[in-house]
Structure 1
Amino acid sequence: MSPENLPALKLDREQAAAFLEARPGHEYWSQCRCYHHLEGGAVLIGDAAHSMFSLLGQGCSAAISDALVLDSLLGQHGDQFSLVLPQFSAQQVEEGHAASDLSLIALIVYHPWLGLFYKITTFVWVFVLRQPSIFARLNQVGSNYIQVLRENRLWIWLAKKLLPETPKVSKLRKI
């Protein structure tokens, strides 16, 4: 559809006001074992495949990366979805799990005393040791989530210990 063929956007003032007055929702962490459904011809990309807390700002980057991998596979195999979709899952699930795990750093950053410890450690890491922070590493073009996860495995292990075990969260944890 071209922009001139799109319907005019209509804004309902009551709905807009209700949206703006609503309390922020909760962020969830989840991981899928597979990013496709062959019989349904469906594929998950971006936050639908690997949810992330918003702190890292990687949702759009991960979606673009997923789309590029899917496009590359479609370029190699055409419309042979029985080949493309399983390969897509095989390539992207581990990277997606790493991205989801890295997003758990939010649990450390916003923790009352661990957050302070993290900030001091990061200050030393960046300004004394002259090493890039987790945020700088993730914002490099072509960043590999698996590698960044390996470099920060201690923080992520600690963050997983802080992950709340409420029934709602534990159900979403591994899909």
Structure 2
Amino acid sequence: GGKAQPLVLDVTRSDAVRDAFAGLGRLDILVNNAGINRPQPFLDVDEKTLNLLLGLNVKAAFIVAQCAARLMVAQRSGVIINMSSQMGHVGSERDRTVYVMTKHALEGLTKAMAVELAPKGVRVVSVAPTFISTPLAQPFLEDPATRKWILDHIPMGRIGTVEEVASAVVFLASPAAALVTGSLLLVDGGWTAW
């Protein structure tokens, strides 16, 4: 048994992130789990949406990971788990160009951080779920056409659960994954296997 401490803050405010991490002593595991999607056709994406998704899905993830890594490097141990998406490994015909771009960027960040931080005792991995039954996904899942499109892309034929994603995170944070870094764990029911 260990202790988990959630940090509730606006991760798009870099100063608030730095202040929150400054108050921590030891940090063994970071689950970098902030993200958003605002579907728009590529030709219609406005700068406000572009900045919102890049700011939260990429810049904030970078700053949070950097703050965590500084603590972990000082103690020569730790694991950073970036919450990505299956969309970081495919394209999408459903108005998700900006979201797809940000998740591809997060996968690149995960790999680059893993290479740089491995000699310092820090592992960096990502979890890439499919559509998961959460309040944020509910509007998409309630639309019959969108739900059909989603299920048609998942060979296992069902929406994922929060518990399935949490199990992947627990594995990657555990000693059982001690040699795993720079990798991702797809929790996508086979979406990316097509």
Q: Aligning the two structures, in what range does the TM-score lie when normalised by the shorter sequence?
A: under 0.3
Structure with more contact order per residue of length (Cα contacts < 8 Å, sep ≥ 6): 1
After TM superposition, the score normalised by the length of structure 2 is 0.25
Q: Which has the larger radius of gyration?
A: 1
Could you say which structure has the higher strand fraction? Answer: 2
